[in-house]
Chain A
Amino acid sequence: MNEKQIYERLNEVFRDVFDDEDITVNADTTADDIDDWDSIEHINLVGAVEDEFGLRFKMGEVSGMKNVGEMVDIIMKRGK
């Protein structure tokens, strides 16, 4: 699975979770870039990403992530 494929799948997850077909994320995307991305939606998003890639983020990873790029790095290592 290359980075491009990950971003394609990730975009779908973001679009589903925020019900917005126009969302496209990149490595620098943060919660500030998406209106509805608050702490509750964050949990949904992390859960949906975990489901999509068949992995579980470790507790430290979730709180440490600074942007989508860091999330993708973890998916590259452990995602399916």
Chain B
Amino acid sequence: MISDRTAAYGGSPFVQISNFGNGRYVKQKTHGNDLLGEKMKELEYPFDPQYILKKRRALKRALIEQSGGSGLKKKIAVLGGSTTDDIVSMAELFLLNHGIEAEFWQSEYNKFWEDGVFGNDELEAFKPDIVYVCTSSVNLKFGSDPALTEQQADERIDAEEQKYITLWEKLTRFGCPIIQNNFDAPFYALMGNMDSWDKRGLCYAAHELNSRFAKHARDGRILLLDLERTAAEYGLDRWHDRSYYYMYKYMCAREAVPSVAYKLSLIVKSIFGKNRKLLALDLDNTLWGGIVGDDGVEGLEIGQETGVAQAYYEFQQYARQLKSIGTVLTVCSKNEHENAIAGLNHPEGVLRPDDFALIKANWEPKDKNLLETVGQLDLTPAAIVFADDNPAEREIVRQTIPEASVPELSAPEDYIRTISRGGHFEPISITADDLARAEMYRRNAKRAELAASVGDYGEYLKSLEMQAEIAPFKPMYIGRITQLTNKSNQFNLTTRRFTQAEMEERMESDKYITQYGKLTDKFGDNGIVSVIVGRICPDAKELFVSLWLMSCRVLKRDMELAMLDGLVAQAKAKGLTKIVGEYIPSPKNKMVERFYPDVLGFRLVIADDDGLAKYELDISSYENKNKYIKM
């Protein structure tokens, strides 16, 4: 083999690896397409790590052919404390499967701190959308040391924490999210169990650093990748594969690498709004044991009486918990409607009919029901996770709705793990809006019913009894404002993304006018649904609107008119006479291409061949446009 390059392993291997760490991409051959058209079930949990490690090239080729280059393009800088090439190539696959075409840049081997703190020309030019600091217990350069005083033990932990704080502070120059690993439990414990509680122990230090990292995550400084849990899930003895560490400087076993990459991909897809939103549940033998139509409600296995009953009980409990992280639940079951309702009212059950935004219990094909469900809830097929114990139903849905995720549910005792480890609903923050989301979708379904029953649209809007709160950004809402800004794609005129810190800066600056809109109607509170940021140009006495977006769940409610009314009022108060808006086309915002001229009555200033256009509105004699929403 083994050419000079590789023969060097075992001597000073990391020097070798570092040569390849720098912005290096694997060359691709393009021939054959045996995997084309096949769904990438291979890349969903539970995946086979050996298979995807071995077949990475063919998988990548197939994924790129499938997407046809339509994926979201994002740049990820990986600052590694160990060899990260495999983590990158695996994350690349998982992200492609989430519709994200990531380009990676890697620091040289173990230069994460130097590159991050002192800068690196390549890294600066790369302009990452995300920085991932991939460190682990192998980067803790001290060990358990009983000779330390308590103060010295504290100090070395403080120093280690400070090292990372400095790194994160320096990394803010990129204005992008920072994903940071916490520490896996160290390879061995010198003092045994005592190592975990005595301050001189390395295990104690790793734990303590993890709690401090968690605090920084709560403060919004970083997003944590829970490497500690990832290693535990994999099994710590297998995780610490020392020969791969000594030879190749791997922080964990080669076979554990896909697990780390998978966790990374979950955070990244969550950041870019690629989470799924809906869990569509079958009933018989999915939410309870038995068939309600045949066995009757009293014959169902659910509750605390038997082991099987308990498994279904806990699964119902889990589904209900998912609501609390913003997942919308629906039923998709072949059943008589009244039997379904009766089953869901089982006295020993957890879920109740009201927990579901929609209940589809009928004899129509499930794919048809699922598509109707997302249609009625204003979601897309890509929002669906479909949970069904029946392999035939799963297969039909996989084939007819390829965008949906269909986890392989085998036995009720494994349902929770299978869905949970899939990470379909992985939150990076949970706002009050998320908590209310499930309820909101239920109300949406009710609104749709009302709309169908009222003939005239104006009458319908009036009957909604809408009330809006429209005001400059407030600190209490800034989290939700940032979240909405970074995940809105369709009703988004410019698709500019901002970090929370950048939003706060605009909120506090008198160079900007900011505005959020919150909409309530007789069915409940929709929360914050619209965001505008405009820069004041004092010389021209105009407001340049760099961001205007709205949640699609309040489309056609005249909220955009109410927002314009509010914006004009703010602009006038600052003595401005003109509002300038722009439309920047993206693959997803065609919906608002004609928003400024057709909906708001702006005048075209200039447009180029790529569809980018600039509009303006003279506001000196502006009259309020909104008729249906009370302020």
> In the complex the two chains form, what is the Cα distance from A19 to B60 in whole Å?
10
Once the chains bind, are A31 and B1 in contact (CB under 8 Å)? Answer: yes
Once the chains bind, are B2 and A65 in contact (CB under 8 Å)? Answer: yes
Once the chains bind, are A17 and B16 in contact (CB under 8 Å)? Answer: no
Residues of A near B55 (CB, < 8 A) are 16, 19
Q: Is A48 located at the chain interface by the 8 A CB criterion?
A: yes
Q: Is A43 located at the chain interface by the 8 A CB criterion?
A: yes
Interface flags for A51-63 (1: CB within 8 Å of B; 0: not) read: 1000010111011
Q: Is B3 located at the chain interface by the 8 A CB criterion?
A: yes
Q: How many contacts between A and B, using CB within 8 angstroms?
A: 95
Once the chains bind, are B54 and A16 in contact (CB under 8 Å)? Answer: yes
Once the chains bind, are B1 and A68 in contact (CB under 8 Å)? Answer: yes
B19 CB, min distance to chain A CBs, angstroms: 8
Contact A36/B27 with A44-B53, A48-B54 known, Cβ cut-off 8 Å:
yes
Residues of A near B2 (CB, < 8 A) are 30-31, 42, 65-67
Most buried by B among A17, A51, A62, A64: A62
Once the chains bind, are A63 and B9 in contact (CB under 8 Å)? Answer: yes
Most buried by B among A18, A47, A59: A47
Give the residue of A16, A35, A39, A64 whose beta carbon is less than 8 angstroms from that of B58. A16
B317 CB, min distance to chain A CBs, angstroms: 38
Residues of A near B31 (CB, < 8 A) are 21
Once the chains bind, are B243 and A59 in contact (CB under 8 Å)? Answer: yes
Once the chains bind, are B246 and A59 in contact (CB under 8 Å)? Answer: yes
Contact A30/B58 with A43-B248, A60-B10 known, Cβ cut-off 8 Å:
no
Secondary structure class of chain A's binding surface, majority of residues = helix
> Considering only CB atoms, which chain A residue lies closest to B19 in the complex?
A39
Q: Is A13 located at the chain interface by the 8 A CB criterion?
A: yes
> In the complex the two chains form, what is the Cα distance from A56 to B85 in whole Å?
21
> Considering only CB atoms, which chain A residue lies closest to B11 in the complex?
A63
> Considering only CB atoms, which chain A residue lies closest to B250 in the complex?
A43
B589 CB, min distance to chain A CBs, angstroms: 36
> In the complex the two chains form, what is the Cα distance from A68 to B3 in whole Å?
12
Residues of A near B17 (CB, < 8 A) are 39-40
Q: Is A7 located at the chain interface by the 8 A CB criterion?
A: no
Give residues 65-112 of B contacting A (CB, 8 Å): 83, 85-86
Once the chains bind, are A39 and B5 in contact (CB under 8 Å)? Answer: yes
Secondary structure class of chain B's binding surface, majority of residues = helix
A24 CB, min distance to chain B CBs, angstroms: 16
Give the residue of B7, B85, B243, B247 whose beta carbon is less than 8 angstroms from that of A40. B85
> Considering only CB atoms, which chain A residue lies closest to B49 in the complex?
A51
> Considering only CB atoms, which chain B residue lies closest to A17 in the complex?
B54
| Chain A: interface size category | 35 or more
Contact A62/B29 with A13-B54, A31-B2, A67-B2 known, Cβ cut-off 8 Å:
no
Residues of B near A30 (CB, < 8 A) are 1-3
Q: Is B572 located at the chain interface by the 8 A CB criterion?
A: no
Residues of A near B1 (CB, < 8 A) are 29-31, 37, 42, 65-68, 71
Q: Is B192 located at the chain interface by the 8 A CB criterion?
A: no
> In the complex the two chains form, what is the Cα distance from A41 to B2 in whole Å?
12
Once the chains bind, are B61 and A42 in contact (CB under 8 Å)? Answer: no
Give the residue of B11, B16, B86 whose beta carbon is less than 8 angstroms from that of A39. B16
Once the chains bind, are B53 and A38 in contact (CB under 8 Å)? Answer: no
Residues of B near A60 (CB, < 8 A) are 10
Give the residue of B3, B28, B56 whose beta carbon is less than 8 angstroms from that of A31. B3
> Considering only CB atoms, which chain B residue lies closest to A68 in the complex?
B1
B550 CB, min distance to chain A CBs, angstroms: 45
Once the chains bind, are B32 and A21 in contact (CB under 8 Å)? Answer: yes
> In the complex the two chains form, what is the Cα distance from A56 to B20 in whole Å?
25
B166 CB, min distance to chain A CBs, angstroms: 30
> Considering only CB atoms, which chain B residue lies closest to A40 in the complex?
B85
> In the complex the two chains form, what is the Cα distance from A58 to B56 in whole Å?
25
Residues of B near A17 (CB, < 8 A) are 54, 57
Once the chains bind, are B86 and A38 in contact (CB under 8 Å)? Answer: no
Q: Is B26 located at the chain interface by the 8 A CB criterion?
A: yes
Once the chains bind, are B3 and A43 in contact (CB under 8 Å)? Answer: no
Give the residue of B20, B26, B53, B247 whose beta carbon is less than 8 angstroms from that of A63. B247
Interface flags for A23-36 (1: CB within 8 Å of B; 0: not) read: 00000011110011
A13 CB, min distance to chain B CBs, angstroms: 7
19 contacts between A and B (CB under 8 A): A13-B54, A19-B55, A19-B58, A20-B29, A30-B2, A40-B24, A44-B54, A44-B56, A51-B50, A51-B53, A59-B243, A59-B246, A60-B10, A62-B10, A63-B7, A63-B247, A65-B2, A67-B1, A68-B1
Interface residues of B (CB under 8 A from A): 1-3, 5-11, 16-17, 19-20, 24, 26-29, 31-32, 50, 53-58, 61, 83, 85-86, 243, 246-248, 254-255
Additional A-B contact list (7), CB under 8 Å, known A19-B61, A44-B86: A30-B1, A32-B3, A39-B9, A40-B85, A47-B255, A63-B10, A65-B1
The 6 closest A-B pairs by CB, nearest first: A63-B10, A19-B57, A31-B3, A48-B54, A51-B50, A42-B6
